[in-house]
Amino acid sequence: MSVLDFEAVIGLEVHCQLSTRSKIFCSCPASPPAGVSVSSLQPNQNVCEVCCGHPGALPVMNAEAVRLAVRAGLAVGSRIRQASVFARKNYFYPDLPKGYQISQYDSAICEGGVVEIEVDGARKQARLRRIHLEEDAGKSVHEFGVTLVNLNRAGVPLIEIVGEPDLRTPEEAGDYLRELHAIVTTLGITDGNMQEGNFRCDANVSIRRKGSSPFGTRVEIKNVNSFRFVEKAIAFEIQRQVAVLSAGKVVVQETRLYDPQKDQTFSMRTKEEAEDYRYFPDPDLLPIVVPENWIEEERRAIPELPAQKRDRYRKDYLLPAQDTRLLTSSREWMQFFESVMASFVSTLPVDAFAKAAANLISGELSRLSHEAGLALESARVTPIHVARLVELLLGNQLSSTAAKKVLQLAWSSGDSVDVIVAREGLIQQNDAGALEPLVSAVLSENPQAVEELCSGKEKVLGFLVGLVMKKSKGRANPALIQDLIRKAVAATTQLES
Ligand SMILES: [Zn+2]
């Protein structure tokens, strides 16, 4: 049996930290002040009797967390439950001082809903089971040969977005997670910081023979906090389960962890059933009753969502799917692109302007931002830089090679495009007379390439254009060079024949 005989069944449970000022059941700060990293907080700095689980301390519901959960539910088409109930999920762990986590079980605040992803150009609806509110646990820190507990995170509000097992491939799971991340960050209900674990997921993975309908035994991969890792962890897990079944063994229901260094999952513990948690309604908390006017207010607070933006970019700017996907992958990319479009100069065609902007953003700018590990919001390159570059590009005043160079220089200096272009002498050379000597030099230095071009090997044309570009220090107009090379080669061919 091979992997092709099987189909994977994947469902994700996503934990997302809500951006409230205080924790979900007490007045402790839920996160460090703006600009301060979580790691610079003292351990157990943000704690009190309630989030430390002291006997007799009573939880008080944070209304803002309810509002944000409602907003999330409305954005994905969930039904908002008029009255929902908190339950105690009982288990023992050192970072859970109460001995139970306050969560929701059979009566969650949001029911149903759907996240739309695109698979091979077609739209696919991945259904949601529910979205529920819960508190986060603390963190065990293994250091100096001992385990220490930090409760700064205990009681931080989370929503858990529970997906139905509608996903079939690691790529679909990755796309679903990206889309959900783009939605919740666009809604402004979370900072979505994956390194800090503020947006993380558990993946339930099972396999079954193709064409059979019952689900196989599922394995849960816990706490994956990167889009790439979720795809790799699931891909590994599918291969592992295929190997287990092919060897005539059975898949064990268990919880596994993913090790990115080894690119493997390994067993953590056998999986608990819901009954093991002995859920029961929390007697210290009243049911959450969401007022009708809150639902209306939150509905109005929903901005244009990534899927709507994609449709608009396609319709208004004729951008291809690949571009719209990247531009709507997170709030920062969307905001950046839209600010560039806000500086659109009406004398240029809007679709050409959008396409050139999309190319610069998804190409060089995305590379620079990844390389520096710096968010676009904190970068020195602003939408004004990109808008001006696009203007020069479309006006044939700058080559795309030169535009990249300007972006690099602006990235490090923050200088304006015009200052950089003037300083570096990058204005595009559109004067055929000035370029002809460079073209003839390149052609005479590369007789073999010229011969190949004459015999119809079009591929070498790009190579020759590149050489002339290099000689011109990136200033030449590539389309013009191409013309000049063709003319020169045609002239030689005529002479020879
Ligand atoms: Zn507290």
pLDDT tens-place string over residues 434-476: 888 888 899 989 888 888 888 888 888 889 998 988 888 777 8
69 CA distance to ligand 1 centroid (A)? 20
29 CA distance to ligand 1 centroid (A)? 8
Q: What mean pLDDT do residues 327-341 have?
A: 89
44 CA distance to ligand 1 centroid (A)? 10
38 CA distance to ligand 1 centroid (A)? 16
291 CA distance to ligand 1 centroid (A)? 26
148 CA distance to ligand 1 centroid (A)? 19
Across 8-17, 313-322, 340-349, least confident range:
340-349
Q: Would you say 151 and 47 are in contact if contact means Cβ atoms under 8 Å apart?
A: yes
49 CA distance to ligand 1 centroid (A)? 6
Q: Would you say 477 and 428 are in contact if contact means Cβ atoms under 8 Å apart?
A: yes
pLDDT tens-place string over residues 378-432: 899 999 999 999 999 998 888 888 899 999 999 999 999 999 998 988 887 778 8
Phi and psi for 113 in degrees, rounded to 5?
120, 175
pLDDT of residue 269 exceeding 80 = no
274 CA distance to ligand 1 centroid (A)? 28
Domains present along the chain, CATH in parentheses: 3-299 (no CATH), 306-424 (no CATH), 432-496 (1.10.10.410)
Q: What is the DSSP letter of 165?
A: S
Strands 219-224, 254-259: pairing is parallel
pLDDT tens-place string over residues 115-156: 999 887 788 999 999 999 999 999 999 888 999 999 999 999
Q: Is the dihedral of CA 446, 448, 449, 453 positive or negative?
A: positive
Task: Identify the helix (H) or strand (E) that includes residue 161.
Answer: strand 157-163
What confidence score (pLDDT) does residue 271 get? 65
43 CA distance to ligand 1 centroid (A)? 13
Helix (H, G, I), strand (E, B) or coil at 443: helix
318 CA distance to ligand 1 centroid (A)? 51
215 CA distance to ligand 1 centroid (A)? 42
Q: Would you say 444 and 438 are in contact if contact means Cβ atoms under 8 Å apart?
A: no
Structure tokens at 440: 């003839």
Range 351-381 burial, b when 16+ CB lie within 10 A, else e? eebbbbbbbbbbebbeebbeeeeeebeebeb
pLDDT tens-place string over residues 198-238: 999 999 999 999 888 899 999 999 989 899 999 999 999 99
For all residues of the chain together, what is the average pLDDT? 91
Which residue type, as a one-letter code, is found at position 56?
G
- Alpha carbon distance 147, 425 (integer Å): 60
155 CA distance to ligand 1 centroid (A)? 7
pLDDT of residue 358 exceeding 90 = yes
348 CA distance to ligand 1 centroid (A)? 56
What confidence score (pLDDT) does residue 207 get? 96
156 CA distance to ligand 1 centroid (A)? 9
Query: What ranges make up the beta strands (E) of 32-164?
Result: 79-80, 83-84, 87-90, 100-103, 110-111, 114-119, 122-135, 139-143, 146-150, 157-163
C-beta atoms surrounding 71 within 10 Å: 23
